[in-house]
Amino acid sequence: MSLIKSCQTQKFEELLVRKGNAEMRIKLGVRSTKVLQILVGVLMRCWVFAGLTILACILVYWTYGKLFAFLLLCLAIIGIFYHIEDNLLFHPDMPAHSRIFVPVPSMFGMPYESVNVRSSDGTLIHLFFIRQPGPLAIRVPTVLFLHGNAGNMGHRLQNVLGLYQNLQCNVLMLEYRGYGLSQGNPTEAGLCMDAKIALDYLASRSDINHKEIIVFGRSLGGAVAIDLASQLEYAQKIWCLILENTFTSIPEMAKVLIGWRLLHYLPLFVYKNKFLSLNKIGHVTVPTLFVSGLADNLVPPRMMSELHQKCGSNNKQLLQFEVGTHNETWTSPGYYHSLATFLRDARVRRGIDPPSSPPPPSFNESV
Q: How many Å apart are CA 212 and CA 239, to the nearest integer?
A: 5
264 is catalytic: no
Supply the mean pLDDT for the chain. Answer: 83
**pLDDT above 90: residue 46:** no
pLDDT tops 80 at residue 97: yes
Digit-coded pLDDT (tens) for 214-262: 999 999 999 999 999 999 999 999 999 999 999 999 999 988 887 777 6
Q: Of 219, 249, 277, 338, which is the active-site residue?
A: 219
Let me know: does 346 contact 240? Beta carbons within 8 Å: yes
pLDDT of residue 301: 97
CA-CA distance, 271 to 264, in Å (whole number)? 12
Least confident of 7-21, 128-142, 161-175: 7-21
Instruction: Flag whether pLDDT at 331 surpasses 70.
Output: yes
- Which among 296, 308, 338, 362 is annotated as catalytic? 296
Catalytic residue among 86, 283, 326, 345: 326
Q: What is the pLDDT of residue 124?
A: 98
**What is the mean predicted confidence (pLDDT) over 13-37?**
43
Question: Which whole number is the average pLDDT over 129-145?
Answer: 96
Tens digits of residue pLDDT in 160-208:
999 999 999 999 999 999 999 999 999 999 999 999 999 999 999 999 9
> Mean per-residue pLDDT for 25-47?
46
Q: Which residues in 235-349 belong to E strands, given as ranges?
A: 240-244, 288-293, 316-321
Q: Does 296 participate in catalysis according to the annotation?
A: yes
Q: What is the mean pLDDT of residues 310-325?
A: 97
Q: What percent of the chain shows pLDDT beyond 70?
A: 72
Sheet holding 213-218, edge to edge: 112-118, 124-130, 170-175, 142-146, 213-218, 240-244, 288-293, 316-321
Q: How far is CA 199 from CA 133, 143, 223, in A?
A: 21, 10, 16
The reply to whether 219 belongs to the active site is yes
Q: What's the rounded mean pLDDT across residues 133-150?
A: 96
Q: Are 85 and 42 in contact (CB under 8 A)?
A: no
Buried b vs exposed e over 111-124: b needs ≥16 C-beta within 10 Å?
ebeeeebebeeebe
Beta carbons within 8 Å of 308's beta carbon, 6+ residues apart: 290, 316, 317, 318
More confident position, 239 or 82 = 239
Instruction: Give CA–CA dist 127/287, Å, rounded.
Output: 25
